[in-house]
């Protein structure tokens, strides 16, 4: 059971290790893009290319869905970013339960946005957890974990790709040990639990009264979605890549300043420090380096961003 790109390596790993996949459950097709074309999920694409049966129920709470899964008589259900609540009736069906590939070191960052949350908090490490699912939100006992460093240039997109591959490898190492009874599930410490929230589109709007460090983390955490942006001359300016710079002449938060030669040609004053801009994208235009951008927008330096 899985939906986005994060889940694809786990399915590939199971197929590559000769496990019999009885069915693949993924979210229904949705309209996407400017043309609003109906798009299948990444997991569905892989499953169909391998000739696997694909099921896309709107909900798993339907009695007919539960009956259909029971009819498959699965030994094990693997879940990776499925995006649907799995009922207690389904959790109880497989002999070896339902294993979840979760991209954090549980009990830290339970919920829907663990990768972005780790970047937002400035964590230096994150990881992947293989856990036995129960009726709670990421509250089940832990089987295995693997720690992964967060590089300064990691975005949610790049870190998701890394964790997806590591999670798939950890899954393949864990399943046979779990089935053979060689792993004892370890309960999570509730006192250490933290929860994440659903990220909204409006989260991408930058608040220049924050510190340069906070804004830099947001630029990375909200890449690729929803993306961070500000307003300049009544147009949306997307901040694609940035870096926090210390000091600088005190300026009003949001004012654009020129910078000495370096990785960023221009910066924006914040409550503390300068956010150096490396790549930007003006509404209706392509992504370009900040240096190239200011060559075509001479009045940008000295302006006020909103």
pLDDT digits (tens, 9 = 90+) for 9-53: 999 999 999 899 999 999 999 987 677 788 999 999 999 999 999
User: Within 13 Å, how many C-alpha atoms sit on residue 60's CB side?
Assistant: 17
Q: Tens digit of pLDDT for each residue in 274-290? A: 999 999 999 999 999 99
Instruction: Select from 239, 245, 240 the least CA-distant residue to 276.
Output: 245
Q: Residue 248: what pLDDT?
A: 67
Decide if pLDDT at 184 tops 80.
yes
What pTM value is reported for the model? 0.95
What is the four-CA torsion angle of 264, 266, 269, 272, rounded to 10 degrees? 20
CB 58, CB 28: distance < 8 Å: yes
The span from the CA of 78 to the CA of 267, in Å, is: 46
**Residue 79's closest CA among 140, 127, 11, 12?**
11
**Predicted local distance difference test score (pLDDT) of residue 177:** 98
Q: Give the C-alpha separation, 90 to 20, whole Å.
A: 19
pLDDT tens profile 70-104: 999 999 999 999 999 999 999 999 999 999 999 99
The reported pLDDT for the residue numbered 247 is: 72
The CATH number of the domain covering residues in 5-192: 3.40.50.170
Distances (CA, A) of 224 to 161, 197, 207, 238, 241: 12, 17, 19, 11, 11
Residue 158 backbone class (left: φ over 0; alpha: ψ -120 to 50; beta: rest): alpha
Percentage of the chain exceeding pLDDT 90: 92
Q: What is the mean pLDDT of the chain?
A: 95
For the chain, where do the domains classified as CATH 3.40.50.170 start and end?
5-192
Contact between residue 275 and residue 268 where contact means Cβ atoms under 8 Å apart: yes
Q: Where in the chain is the domain with CATH 3.10.25.10?
A: 202-296
What's the whole-number mean pLDDT along residues 135-147? 97
**273 touches 259 (CB < 8 A):** no
3-state secondary structure at position 51: coil
Which pair of tokens denotes residue 61? Answer: 């709470």
Q: How far is CA 160 from CA 34, 122, 179, 204, in A?
A: 25, 16, 27, 18
The answer, yes or no, to whether residue 261 has pLDDT greater than 90, is no
Tally of CB atoms within 10 A around 303: 14
Is residue 246 predicted with pLDDT exceeding 90?
no
Architecture of the domain whose range is 202-296: Roll (3.10)
The three-class DSSP label of residue 4 is: coil
Supply angle C-alpha 168, 196, 198, rounded to 5. 95
DSSP secondary structure letter of residue 121: T
- Give the side-chain half-sphere CA count within 13 A for 31: 3
């Amino acid at each position: 059971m899985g939906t986005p790109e994060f889940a694809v390596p786990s399915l590939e790993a199971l197929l590559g290790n000769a496990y019999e996949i009885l069915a693949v459950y993924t979210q229904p097709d949705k309209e996407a893009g400017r043309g609003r074309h109906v798009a299948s999920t990444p997991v569905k694409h892989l499953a169909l290319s391998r000739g696997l049966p694909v099921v896309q129920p709107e909900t798993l709470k339907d009695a007919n869905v539960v009956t259909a899964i029971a009819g498959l008589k699965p030994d094990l259900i693997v879940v990776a970013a499925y995006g649907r609540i799995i009922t207690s009736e389904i959790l109880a069906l497989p002999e070896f339960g339902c294993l979840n590939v979760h991209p954090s070191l549980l009990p830290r960052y339970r919920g829907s946005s663990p990768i972005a949350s780790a970047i937002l908090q400035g964590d230096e490490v994150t990881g992947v957890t293989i856990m036995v699912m129960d009726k709670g939100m990421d509250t089940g006992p832990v089987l295995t974990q693997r720690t992964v460093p967060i590089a300064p240039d990691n975005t949610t997109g790049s870190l998701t790709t890394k964790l997806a591959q590591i999670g798939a490898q950890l899954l393949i190492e864990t399943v046979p040990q779990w089935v053979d009874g060689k792993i004892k599930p370890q309960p999570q410490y509730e006192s250490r639990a933290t929860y994440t929230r659903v990220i909204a589109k409006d989260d991408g709007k930058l608040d220049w009264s924050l510190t340069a460090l906070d804004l830099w983390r947001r630029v990375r955490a909200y890449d690729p979605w929803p993306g961070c942006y500000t307003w300049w001359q009544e147009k949306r300016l997307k901040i694609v890549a940035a870096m926090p710079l210390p000091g600088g002449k005190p300026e009003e938060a949001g004012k654009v300043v020129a910078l000495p030669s370096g990785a960023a040609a221009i910066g924006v004053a914040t409550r503390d420090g300068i956010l150096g801009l490396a790549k930007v994208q003006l509404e209706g235009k392509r992504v370009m380096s900040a240096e190239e951008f200011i060559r075509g927008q001479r009045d940008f330096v000295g302006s006020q961003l909103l």
